[in-house]
Structure 1
């Protein structure tokens, strides 16, 4: 038995999960190519059109990917706005050209200035966004425009590290206006519902690297969640995760889709044991060669059952100390 035999589709994050800075993450292509499950790439990155994303996925080796396998938060934001404002309304789009095109396809009139009196601002990630564009958005919102964001990710994992994400740009507009946007992307459940519906999936598995978006969103949608330790959220983030952000499975990489489901859940393994001492989580024992993630799953079984948050993690054996050296 393996994880992939328990589900009928995969809802996959992209940045930090499938690729990083356009480079395929280790084991991703082989794992997904052999899974034999329908997939939907559900991404908070709103800067590129679905076909552009699909082309990039084909380039890294996922040859069967089409635009129909991609759902961006820009698409979700346009759908959300369409539920709130009439077709034909003027909107200011703070984002990429593909976002502007999606807004036009959704029936809106895209304008270039607050002076055009847009009734809504649609805000998505665009590396070219600067002071002038942020100011037009702020002027529009201060004049009464509704505010919609594709996502609120504070950072964007790329090859050189964590770059500024859309949420950090949104924070500037919120600071200038006092208005918080409605967000269409993760951690809201809407994109997960839509992805599962498109695939006619009754038992999807949500896969991602980030607890506060991918995992929280999948959990909010009532789905099982699979976190890979290849992106933003790491070992210590998991130890301190609030209930809404705790994944069903903890994986080192996408290759763990082929592992026994029980092995990937929190619980004692690798000969480790753990206990709570005040606000400290103490990990001891450990078989020779036991992995850092085995120590993590052992620790999570105890940390997530604790009544108070863990503020410190301490090793009480040589093997545990070696494991903790690899935590981040």
Structure 2
């Protein structure tokens, strides 16, 4: 039995999970192609149209991908706005041309200036966004426009590291206006519900790399969640994670979809032991024949950390093998 056999669909994040800056993450393509499950790519990145995302996925070897397999937060933002303002309303789109096209397709009139008195501002990631565009959005919001964001991700993982995400741009507009937008993307559950419904799925598995968006969103939707350690959230993030952001499974990569489910859950592994000493999580032991794998130490530690009723502020190794494992934590 493996994780993949327990579910009837996969809801997959993209950046940090499937690819990083357009480069396929190790084991991602082969693991997805072998799954045999219906799937949907659920992404907070609103800068690319579904058709473009699908083409990019085909380019890295996910040959059967079409636009129908992609759900972006820009699509979700347009749906959210349509529930709040009348069709035909004027909107100012702070985002890429593909986002503007989605807004037009949703029945809105896209305008270029706050002087056109838009009823809403739709804000999605665009690498070309600058002071002038942010200021135009602020002017519209201060004049009464409703504010919708595709997502609130503070960073965007790329090949060179973590770049500025849409949430960081949103923070500038919020600081200037005092208005916090309604966010259509993760960690809200709406995209997960919509993706599962599109696949007629009753038991989906939500897969991602960020605890505060992918995992929190899947959890909020009542789904099992599978975190891969290939993107933003790392070992220490998991130790300190609040209950709403704790995944069902902790995986090294998407290849672990084919591992036995119990082996990916928090619990004692690799001969490691863990205990709580005040506010410190202490890891000891380790089986040298199995190798001091960092993720085995992590899953061992999480069983104790997540059961603790008091905050943990430090992690300490109390054996040589534990110390070797913690050297590879991040």
TM-score range (shorter-chain normalised) is over 0.9
The equivalent residue for 1:58 is: 58
**Is residue 244 of structure 1 aligned with residue 237 of structure 2?**
no
Structural RMSD (CA):
0.4
Cα drift, residue 225 of structure 1: 0.1
Cα drift, residue 309 of structure 1: 1.5
The equivalent residue for 2:98 is: 98
In 2, Cα distance between equivalents of 1:290 and 1:139? 56
Give a deviation string over 1:182-232, Cα, whole Å, max 9, x none. 000000000000000000000000000000000000000000000000000
In 1, Cα distance between equivalents of 2:33 and 2:93? 36
The equivalent residue for 1:134 is: 134
**Is residue 191 of structure 1 aligned with residue 186 of structure 2?**
no
**Is residue 291 of structure 1 aligned with residue 293 of structure 2?**
yes
The 5-angstrom pairing of residues 92-171 of structure 1 reads 92-171=92-171
The equivalent residue for 2:329 is: 327
In 2, Cα distance between equivalents of 1:271 and 1:192? 37
In 2, Cα distance between equivalents of 1:311 and 1:286? 23
The equivalent residue for 2:225 is: 225
Cα drift, residue 290 of structure 1: 3.1
Secondary structure of the structure 2 residue equivalent to 1:11 = strand
In 2, Cα distance between equivalents of 1:160 and 1:60? 19
Which 4+ runs in 1 deviate beyond 3 A?
Answer: none
In 1, Cα distance between equivalents of 2:158 and 2:13? 14
Cα drift, residue 308 of structure 1: 1.3
Give a deviation string over 1:137-184, Cα, whole Å, max 9, x none. 000000000000000000000000000000000000000000000000
**Is residue 315 of structure 1 aligned with residue 317 of structure 2?**
yes
Specify every segment of 5 or more residues in structure 1 that has no aligned partner in the other structure, as ranges.
none
The equivalent residue for 2:41 is: 41
Cα drift, residue 310 of structure 1: 1.0
Secondary structure of the structure 1 residue equivalent to 2:65 = coil
In 1, Cα distance between equivalents of 2:268 and 2:213? 27
Secondary structure of the structure 2 residue equivalent to 1:241 = coil
Give a deviation string over 1:287-317, Cα, whole Å, max 9, x none. 0113110000000000001111211100000
In 1, Cα distance between equivalents of 2:129 and 2:310? 42
Asked whether the equivalents of residues 292 and 324 of structure 2 are also in contact (C-alpha less than 8 Å), the reply is no
**Is residue 300 of structure 1 aligned with residue 312 of structure 2?**
no
In 2, Cα distance between equivalents of 1:28 and 1:193? 24
Give a deviation string over 1:85-141, Cα, whole Å, max 9, x none. 000000000000000000000000000000000000000000000000000000000
The equivalent residue for 2:89 is: 89
Cα drift, residue 64 of structure 1: 0.3
Q: TM-score, normalised by structure 1?
A: 1.00
In 2, Cα distance between equivalents of 1:136 and 1:54? 32
Q: TM-score, normalised by structure 2?
A: 0.99
In 2, Cα distance between equivalents of 1:314 and 1:138? 47
Specify every segment of 5 or more residues in structure 2 that has no aligned partner in the other structure, as ranges.
none
Cα drift, residue 268 of structure 1: 0.5
Give a deviation string over 1:254-286, Cα, whole Å, max 9, x none. 000000000000001110000000100000000
